[in-house]
Amino acid sequence: MELLVTTLICLPFLWAILPALIHNSKCRAFFVYLGCGVVMVLSVITAVQWYLQGGKTLELNLPYQELFNHLFLAGDLFLMCLITYLAFKYKKYYAAVLAIAQTVLVACLEQWGPEVAETVALRFDWLTFVMILIIGVVGSLIGIYAVGYMHGYHIHHHKELTDRRSFFLAMIFVFYGAMFGLVFSQSLIIMYFFWEVTSVTSFLLIGYTRTEEAIANSFKALWMNLLGGCGIAAAITVGYLALHTVNLYEFINIAIGSPSEMICLLPIACLAFAAITKSAQFPFSGWLLGAMVAPTPSSALLHSATMVKAGVYLLIRISTAMADNFVGNMVALIGGFTFLAASCLAITVSDGKKVLAYSTISNLGLIVACTGCGYEETIWAAVFLVIFHAVSKSMLFQCVGAIENTTGSRDIEDMQGLMSIFPKLAFILMVGIAGMFLAPFGMLISKWAALKAFIDTNSVYVSTLMVLFICFGSATTMFYWTKWMSKILGISPREKSRDLTKKNEYISMFVHAIFLVTLILGFPWLSKHVLKPLTHDMYGTFKQVISYQNIIIMIVLLVGIFVIPCINYLFTRNTKAKEVITYMGGANAGDNFNFISSTGDPKEMHIANFYMEDFLGEKKLFTPAIVISSFIIIVYLIIVIGGSF
């Protein structure tokens, strides 16, 4: 097992060298496909072998651990120098200050700090099992999609940009390796290195086009995530100076064992702060919105399988130490508030990728809120949300990217009648949207489980606020997804045109769609054989979150959503239908798109959604959301830090 895990972490870093050096398009594509296939197969083999061995928690060391420790330290210093160089090049000096401060602090503690207990480097348990499958399978499918997408991106749509596909595809493999290392890490020193790799890699991908906007947005992502790195550095400092350990799980056990001792909660608070920045919660949501300037594959990767999942992974990991205390209340309130605020903001935008970005922030907020409560039911819901969100959001970003490459627009208003123009793309988009808010898809099931757990929480005010956040946030969520769905299914004045989507892009998207439906069909098995052992591993008890009767209802709903429309299609596909001209408030002009008004003027039908920018627009809500969330974090951190000294 040790060899498999080491290979899974190291191989993507080494494989990244191949696309970086190969500039022949076909040859590079071959090695990217091969590399993604190898990463996918290796992650599945590693997960299955661990599962077949009984699913017992394993603690592992890397071979030549001392050598790797030196490599991690050298890597930290290299990343610091790289950030400092780029910060001075683009005159963003604050990024250099943050990078130098945290790296020097961690390096000095490693070399000259007090003695701490020996820490086994890696840990393999049920949460790791879930995460490596998300990274290895969903992430690799995004890599496969990226080859065809980036070809069209440079050849057909952005000829003015320097073709840096070799660099882009290499960074995708670096992301795989960094995420594998992060979810296996037991030592905070090792986790810190991989955490910083994800921050720097996302910075490089967001700034891929090197436009002024891309550079500004990439540095925004960098400094916000470097703040998170400072949080981990602070946790390491407390570990060295006060707790005499840098073992993440010992931090958790110490906090659980001494819930009234603020010094024991302090490293948990620092880690929670780091995770909030990485998972793009308010007030740090700006970096994820700015990431839209990057090509679509990087957006799909950041939103579904890597960057933001690192944040919620860490929160799930420390959730048992946050139950019913100040840190948990902070995280729950930030998550619930973000869920509601981002959902409201998503109503007001028509850019498809921006809607998906706000949706990501919103759904991550729900996951974060679940982890803050720290109960078995909420963790069950959080992990289930992570799985469904990874598959749904990856597919949606890929589909919107394909639509943009084909139609030249990603605006929802330009997707009117997409089902009649590009039925394959519309079908994938519909499945992805359904996965985000319709029953019996996992997002709705998880919201139900979370709502039940919030009602049962010990804190009355947190319980009340969480219920309000979920109810109103879910209502606004349904509003913006329904608006989008209605545009896709409407009629369109445009005729069918050529679909420019590559086969490999369709392969990735259809596999995602199959995964999404399979997750619903396999939900009872997933709950029994993965989620229940995972929560038992964390809490030591088995709790039935979803009853057998509710599972039956889910199956009935699934039949209603998929089987009944298919049967209806089979019975009506050969039926001859007579087209009827629609009445549009005036004299018909011979088709469904033009009419004569009461004044005798010819009018063209125009259908548009209502975006309520005057009530809920970014200019109205974004700044207040930043202020409120900042206030929550500052107050709770002051309470924890003040109580520690």
DSSP 479-505: HHHHHHHHHHHS--SSPP------HHH
Query: Residue 33, class by beta-carbon neighbours within 10 Å (0-12 exposed, 13-18 middle, 19+ buried)?
Result: middle
What is the DSSP secondary structure assignment for residue 284, as one 8-state letter?
Answer: S
pLDDT of 513 over the 90 cut: no
CA distance 278 to 255: 22
Cis peptide leading into residue 267 (ω within 30°): no
**pLDDT confidence band for 635 (50 / 70 / 90):** very high
Work out whether the CA dihedral 79, 81, 86, 88 comes out positive or negative. positive
pLDDT of 553 over the 90 cut: no
85: which residues sit within 8 A by CB, 6+ positions away? none
Q: Where are the beta strands (DSSP E) in 49-183?
A: 58-60, 122-124
- Please answer whether residues 288 and 360 qualify as being in contact, where contact means their C-beta atoms are separated by less than 8 angstroms: yes
Reduced to 3 states, what is the DSSP secondary structure of residue 122?
strand
- Please answer whether residues 282 and 629 qualify as being in contact, where contact means their C-beta atoms are separated by less than 8 angstroms: yes
- Please answer whether residues 399 and 349 qualify as being in contact, where contact means their C-beta atoms are separated by less than 8 angstroms: no
Give me the residue label for tokens 């309000």: 468
- Please answer whether residues 332 and 338 qualify as being in contact, where contact means their C-beta atoms are separated by less than 8 angstroms: no
Comparison of pLDDT for 102 and 115, the residue scoring more: 102
Both structure tokens of 252: 């958790």
Q: State pLDDT tens for residues 33-52.
A: 999 999 999 999 999 999 99
The rounded percent of the chain whose pLDDT value lies above 90 is: 37
Q: What pLDDT does 330 receive?
A: 92
**pLDDT confidence band for 305 (50 / 70 / 90):** low
Give me the residue label for tokens 């500004």: 216
- Please answer whether residues 516 and 391 qualify as being in contact, where contact means their C-beta atoms are separated by less than 8 angstroms: yes
Q: Degrees (nearest 5) of the Cα angle 572, 575, 580?
A: 110
**pLDDT confidence band for 168 (50 / 70 / 90):** very high
Mean pLDDT of 178-204: 93
Q: Which of 357, 378, 376 is nearest to 366 (CA)?
A: 378
Q: Which of 121, 173, 229 is nearest to 16 (CA)?
A: 173
Paired with 587 in beta bridges are: 596
Comparison of pLDDT for 64 and 630, the residue scoring more: 630
CA distance 147 to 203: 20
Q: What pLDDT does 414 receive?
A: 84
Q: Which of 373, 267, 383 is nearest to 320 (CA)?
A: 373
Question: What's the distance, Cα to Cα, between the start and end of the chain in Å?
Answer: 43
Both structure tokens of 435: 């996965």
Mean pLDDT of 125-143: 92
Q: Which of 485, 140, 500, 137 is nearest to 297 (CA)?
A: 140
Q: What pLDDT does 300 receive?
A: 80
- Please answer whether residues 2 and 61 qualify as being in contact, where contact means their C-beta atoms are separated by less than 8 angstroms: yes
Phi, psi for residue 472 in degrees, rounded to 5: -75, -35
Q: Which of 21, 43, 19 is nearest to 173 (CA)?
A: 19
Report CA-CA distances (Å) from 273 to 251, 328, 624, 632, 633: 15, 11, 20, 12, 8
**pLDDT confidence band for 156 (50 / 70 / 90):** confident
Percent helix, strand, coil in the chain, to 5, is 75, 5, 20
Q: Which of 343, 370, 337 is nearest to 357 (CA)?
A: 343
Comparison of pLDDT for 305 and 513, the residue scoring more: 513
Cis peptide leading into residue 259 (ω within 30°): no
Paired with 602 in beta bridges are: 596
CA 478 to chain centre: 19
For every residue of 344-396, which 3-state class applies, written as one string?
HHHHCCCEHHHHHHHHHHHHHHHHHHHHHHCCHHHHHHHHHHHHHHHHHHHHH
Average pLDDT in the chain: 86
- Please answer whether residues 310 and 276 qualify as being in contact, where contact means their C-beta atoms are separated by less than 8 angstroms: no
Comparison of pLDDT for 559 and 375, the residue scoring more: 375
**pLDDT confidence band for 547 (50 / 70 / 90):** low
What is the DSSP secondary structure assignment for residue 560, as one 8-state letter?
Answer: I
> Minimum mean pLDDT among 62-66, 80-84, 440-444: which range?
440-444
CA distance 221 to 408: 27
Q: Which amino acid is present at 221? A: A
Both structure tokens of 616: 């809920």
Both structure tokens of 178: 């960094």
Q: Which of 212, 257, 344 is nearest to 616 (CA)?
A: 344
pLDDT of 634 over the 90 cut: yes
Phi, psi for residue 594 in degrees, rounded to 5: -140, 150
Both structure tokens of 571: 């019975």
Mean pLDDT of 348-363: 89
Cα R_g (the chain), whole angstroms: 25
Q: What pLDDT does 426 receive?
A: 87
Q: State pLDDT tens for residues 579-633.
A: 677 777 777 777 777 778 777 778 777 777 777 777 778 888 889 999 999 999 9
Report CA-CA distances (Å) from 66 to 1, 70, 247, 249: 19, 6, 17, 21
- Please answer whether residues 87 and 42 qualify as being in contact, where contact means their C-beta atoms are separated by less than 8 angstroms: no
Comparison of pLDDT for 155 and 473, the residue scoring more: 473
